[in-house]
Structure 1
Amino acid sequence: MNLFTTRQRFHQALAAAALALPLLASAQEMTPIKFVLDWKLQGVHAWYFLAQDKGYFAQEKIDITIDQGDGSANAVTKVMAGSYQASFGDLNAIIQNAATKPGQAPVMVYQIYNRTPFALITKADSPIKTLKDLEGKNLGSPAGGAAMRMFATLASKNGLDTSKITWTNMAGNLQEQMLLRGQVDASAVFNVTSYMNLVAQNIDPDKDIRWFQYADHGIELYSNGVMVSPQLIKDKPQAVVGLVRAIHKGVRDAIANPDAAIEALAKREPLINKDLEKRRLMYALKTVVFTPEVATAGIGDVSDERLKRSVADLAAVFELPRQPAPSEVFDRRFLPPLSERKLTLK
């Protein structure tokens, strides 16, 4: 091999390396984030996958992995265990963990469910006509169900003797079936899940079921939203900004085009009933996302005063050793501008 050929190949190698450097740097800039949902794939999760399909996470240099969950309270503990860096879970579970393990609990950075979806359901012909009628009855819930965990707050607000109430644990997909079969007298549910599960079983949830919405009985609690680990905030604050921005764009687009959102969901779970899941998505938007508070504060934010009252309620009911400050459990620094978050539902 002559000197010219050697030099030529040397320069070609340098050029190839130079071309590869930007690609390598780009790959190195990507932040991997493992994200766990609160439950099995449903219409209320469609915005995450719509954001993924539209490349919003990639634009933020985030390599996201989205897994199904098994309870909105469990979504909190999974982040605390280090299995995930972020999740869609329950703010109230954050508060309880922050009270006992300061600095270890996840932090809510984008509140989606402004109104708690917790509810108790019973059959329309049931003798349970008021909350007081629950005494002496058998209630059903999955073991990690947030509605069951928060029942003590509802009971405290409404003078119920919880010692007179028994609980039966069952798989989440059996809640409505066991109620309809009379195996439990009432069930503690997420309304956005249970409403459509009843529809799928040819039950009219408005006529055949009696609903006791926690929010209608003195419970001001917030519920599910996007939370991240304290470590992610410390190490990758810009990734948190990007995560929230990407998810918000997905929420925005899902509101504007729910059909596209459901199609994104169906790519991951082809066996879903698209019509049912679209109805679930719209039901959630109408009942727990869009509220008078959201009309003013925009999607994603909270009222500090309301959050403070919620913390006090939880502290009293669960005898928490301390009351975390709102800033310990919710951080609005990562939110997009209010002008981008003031959305309207068609």
Structure 2
Amino acid sequence: MTDGFGRSHMLSRRNALKGLGAAAAAAGGLTLSAPAIAQGASRVSFTTSWIPEGPNLFAYVARDKGFWKNAGLDVSVARGSGSGAAAQAVSAGTFDFGMAATPTVIIQAAKKLPITCIGQINYDALMGVGVLAASPIRAPKDLEGKKLGASVTSGEYPFLPLYAEKAGFDLAKVQIVQVDGKVRERTLVEKQVDAVSAFATSTVPSLAPLGTDVRFMLFSSVGIEFYGQSLTTQPARIEKDRALCEAFVQGAMEAIRFTLTNFDEAIDIFLKANSEVAISATGKDYSRIGLGLTNLTNLVPEVKDKGLGFADPQKVATMADLVLKYAAGEGATRPDLGALFTNAFAGKIKLTAAELATAERTAAAYRKYVG
């Protein structure tokens, strides 16, 4: 049996022996236990792709609520400085596992870096065009004749021409104002520009707690679907220690389920783990909006039908084609998607109808920001 990417679920004899404890636990309806990995907790290093925020909140829950510990792992969580750097660090073996924006991982793989996505963290990158809530810009066509603040180094920037094509407006009629990503939101607040090209998961939590409501016209609303963040590791690690990878993904997915079904407690855990966020006047709202938007992206068919972490092979293939065409640059070659993505460890945790209802209810308040 394969995982949808042409990768067999069959284990080598060596890895099968490593996983016997896990199989026995599963047969008894138990959580994966430490002896399935090794005597005592296995120390594992993990890097996020950015500062503490909604998309990586699950990692602090997995660590501090004990989901990774219950899986036999002692996981250290390091803060990242961007998806590109995180993907490169994981592929180099600096960290055992990491997370990075899925399009960025595809770009790195197209440059021949050894990296594999082993589970989806969220399912919409929330790329789009943001405007102030009271803006007269109500549809993409309204951008014509307006100023759009954009940063060439931002991940969504290469896809603006495709967005214009799909959304039915003339990008040549939009005045693109190049701005530094560090001040992009400020240019919108100060009305130096009429709109910004950005990621809603970064812009909305930064501005809304300050009383500046914004709304996004998402690329995904016109059929440009990019997954958000992926869990990653090196292909060699999967081959060497499949049971370790399974334990890591299981702990992460348990934590993501917890953030979906225990929203307030997840926020409390995150704030306790990140005191600099907690002491900020806007820290709690920043955290709630970030997690709310992240959770919203997980209420998708992949999660409902296949389980947390599952990546749709057809969507992945489409993403790869778009990344290669618009963002990968010269010399990049289409990566082997069977080596780049695997569902072997994903889809093991499915939300019940009651859990889905809870997740839908708590996420509903954040839909206003993304259409």
Q: TM-score, normalised by structure 1?
A: 0.78
Cα distance in 2 between the residues matched to 1:241 and 1:268: 25
Equivalent residues in 2 for 1:16-31, closer than 5 Å: 26-27=39-40, 30-31=42-43
Q: Which amino acid aligns with 2:270?
A: L
Question: Which residue is 1:335 aligned to?
Answer: 346
Cα distance in 1 between the residues matched to 2:262 and 2:249: 20
Q: Which amino acid aligns with 1:335?
A: A
CA contact (8 A) 1:140 1:184 kept: no
- CA drift of 1:169 comes to 1.9
Question: Which residue is 2:363 aligned to?
Answer: none
- Once the two structures are superposed, residues 188-207 of structure 1 have per-residue CA deviations (whole angstroms, 9 ceiling, x without a partner) of 222123222221120222xx
- CA drift of 1:219 comes to 0.3
Equivalent residues in 2 for 1:253-332, closer than 5 Å: 253-270=258-275, 271-272=277-278, 273-286=283-296, 288-318=297-327, 321-332=332-343
- Once the two structures are superposed, residues 137-165 of structure 1 have per-residue CA deviations (whole angstroms, 9 ceiling, x without a partner) of 4523484x322354454356457557974
Q: Which amino acid aligns with 1:233?
A: I
Cα distance in 2 between the residues matched to 1:161 and 1:276: 32
State the SS of the aligned residue for 2:344: helix
Q: TM-score, normalised by structure 2?
A: 0.73
Question: Which residue is 2:125 aligned to?
Answer: 116
- Once the two structures are superposed, residues 34-62 of structure 1 have per-residue CA deviations (whole angstroms, 9 ceiling, x without a partner) of x2222221244332212212322223332
Relative to structure 1, the CA distance from residue 180 to residue 243 in structure 2 (aligned partners, 3 Å threshold; closer, same or farther) is same
Q: 2:110 aligns with which of 87, 99, 109?
A: 99
Question: Which residue is 2:60 aligned to?
Answer: 49
Question: Aligned residues: percent identity?
Answer: 20
Cα distance in 2 between the residues matched to 1:134 and 1:64: 49
> Does 2:196 align with 1:196?
no
CA contact (8 A) 2:107 2:323 kept: yes
- CA drift of 1:91 comes to 1.2
Cα distance in 2 between the residues matched to 1:241 and 1:315: 30
> Does 2:76 align with 1:58?
no
- CA drift of 1:217 comes to 2.2
CA-based RMSD: 3.1
State the SS of the aligned residue for 2:191: coil
Paired residues in the alignment total 311
CA contact (8 A) 2:185 2:203 kept: yes
Relative to structure 1, the CA distance from residue 323 to residue 312 in structure 2 (aligned partners, 3 Å threshold; closer, same or farther) is same
- Structure 2's unaligned 5+ residue stretches are 1-34, 359-371
CA contact (8 A) 1:106 1:329 kept: yes
Cα distance in 2 between the residues matched to 1:278 and 1:258: 8
Question: Which residue is 2:242 aligned to?
Answer: 237
Relative to structure 1, the CA distance from residue 341 to residue 128 in structure 2 (aligned partners, 3 Å threshold; closer, same or farther) is closer
Larger radius of gyration: 1
